[in-house]
Amino acid sequence: MRHLFALLLLAPVTTVSAQMAVTADTLWTMAGDPIAGGVVLIDASGKITHVGSLAATTIPADMPTRHAKHVTPGLVDAHTVVGLAGYLNQPHDQDQLETSAPIQPELRAIDAYNAREALIGWQRRYGTTTIHTGHGPGALASGQTMLAKTRGTSVAEAIMDSAVMVAMTLGSDVSQTFSGRAPGTRAKGVAMLRAEFIKAREYAAKRARDAATPRDLRLEALASVLDGRLAAMITAHTVTDILAAIRLRDEFGFRLVLDGAAESHLIVDRLREAKVSVILHPTMARHGGSMQNASFTTLGVLHRAGIPAALQSGFEGYVPKTRVPLFEAAVAAAYGATRAEALAAVTIHAARIVGAADRVGSLEVGKHGDLVLFDGDPLEYLTKVCAVVIEGAVVEDGCR
């Protein structure tokens, strides 16, 4: 019986339920080694039904089929503000940071997300199909993040998860945002967050005892961090701020995702011991201020140390307001990360960190049919994106 089963596995596969086939000279599944001469089949629901060798797969003659030299999963931007921050760089399209108070975790990205924003299309044109977006760095707690697909004209068409993490920031960037107001120093900022977490813990206990307790949206959001429903994504660039974030995590037991982490390469052993994930700053971010010790080589350093790490487009205070994850991965590959590590940082590793690896980030049966078709090596400068597919629908077409 075992031998019969093995023969069946080796036999050509025909998936008549599929509505689209994508073939590639090199198929980067991100679930194993690349497949030379690979194929992906996607059904009418937009899910992947088959991934394998083209030589061992029978594609129905009438099935729409596309071919590219290289095919990857749709790219996942592990942290961005697009959809809240717009390309015009004017007050009316800059909703990523509310500066009326330093702690506002109750603010929801879904309430400000503009699916028609041009920067979303710009990201999609370069292969980004999933974004973890929301309120940006600069406040002790700036608001909640969300997961969205880079498609549609409304938040309802784009949304994957309405609340994923609470965005927080430690360090001098907060004092710059709230110049002349609290918090003024690093210690003050950490103390303010600690006090709010204590209030949230007490609030949750009170609500558990008495359901009639009046709701407090701010404490509700922080209580969701404490009970694990939301992660705390803390932007911390310097060693001082990274260690403060870990101490807060150890004290209150929440799930911590480090963001930015420009000096993470200086404390690799401590990060490995702390078992934290890192959404690393864009490789090409300007190395000044709290990021003065940032390095092009950090992604490779973290991967070699076994620390889960992803890349991001992040927040840019100048036009055109967003970086491109594909380009950031290419630079990381030029500075010590392997090609597979660089691609993983904008696909499967990013998907795992933002809690979407069951749906996106790799080409596997049952996952969303999100793919990027390239006319060459994805990380080469002259390579063009020729098509982008989101759940079986071609949303970008033509090599550009």
> Buried (b) or exposed (e) across 265-293, using 16+ Cβ within 10 A?
bebbeebeebebbbbbbbbebeeeebbee
252 membership: H or E segment, kind and range: helix 239-252
Do both 290 and 302 map to the same domain? yes
Do both 155 and 89 map to the same domain? yes
Give me the CATH number covering residue 347.
3.20.20.140
Do both 286 and 252 map to the same domain? yes
Q: Which amino acid is at 247?
A: R
DSSP per position, 287-329: --GGGTT--TTHHHHHHHTT--EEE--B--SSTT----HHHHH
Domain count, the chain: 2
Q: How many CB atoms lie within 10 A of CB 202?
A: 12
The model carries a pTM of 0.94
Do both 89 and 143 map to the same domain? yes
Radius of gyration of the chain (CA): 22
Query: Quick one: pLDDT at residue 26?
Result: 98
Residue whose tokens read 């036009």: 319
Query: Quick one: pLDDT at residue 60?
Result: 86
Q: How many CB atoms lie within 10 A of CB 154?
A: 11
Do both 153 and 185 map to the same domain? yes
Do both 319 and 389 map to the same domain? no
Answer whether residue 359 is part of any domain: no
In which domain, by residue range, is 164 found?
A: 75-353
Query: Quick one: pLDDT at residue 92?
Result: 92
Query: Quick one: pLDDT at residue 104?
Result: 98
Do both 96 and 181 map to the same domain? yes
Give me the CATH number covering residue 17.
2.30.40.10
**In contact, 232 and 255? CB cutoff 8 Å:** yes
Do both 6 and 135 map to the same domain? no
Do both 36 and 122 map to the same domain? no
Low-confidence ranges of the chain (pLDDT < 50): 1-11, 13-16
Phi (first) and psi of residue 362, to 5 degrees: -150, 160
Query: Quick one: pLDDT at residue 102?
Result: 97
> Buried (b) or exposed (e) across 175-196, using 16+ Cβ within 10 A?
bebbeeebbeebeebbebbeeb
Do both 328 and 283 map to the same domain? yes
Query: Quick one: pLDDT at residue 17?
Result: 56
